[in-house]
Amino acid sequence: MGRRPATPVTILAGIAAAGALAAVGAAPAAAADGVLNVDGTDYADPSGCHPLTGGPYRVANHTDETVFILSRRDCTGEVVGVLLPGETGRGPAAGAVFAP
């Protein structure tokens, strides 16, 4: 099987996410302050990987941190969305949400 060529948007999103996740790794371990709502379930002061159902999703980021929507349920794969504090995102499918 051949690999699908990466688009400039995919490459830039990957670089941005890698930089953001690397910066998170260098920061002291602390959960985001606030509430992350994932498909109707609230997570207070979220931290880490929150798997999605695999179907349409809705994520509301009411935290003080940027969260990342990833293509795989184990928080790997492509970054398919980025939600700044206060933003809400919807999409047809994704794997997980990562909160630093």
Pick the residue with more confidence: 31 or 89?
89
- This prediction has a pTM of 0.70
Domain boundaries, the chain: 8-99
Report the CATH architecture of 8-99: Sandwich (2.60)
pLDDT score, position 1: 44
Beta-strand ranges (E) seen in 1-100 are 34-38, 41-44, 48-51, 57-63, 67-70, 79-83, 88-91, 96-99
Percentage with pLDDT > 70 across the chain? 71
Q: pLDDT tens digit string along 9-59? A: 444 455 555 555 544 444 455 789 999 999 999 999 999 999 998 899 999
Residue 62: exposed, middle, or buried by beta-carbon count in 10 A (0-12, 13-18, 19+)? Answer: middle
Count CB-CB contacts under 10 A for residue 78.
16
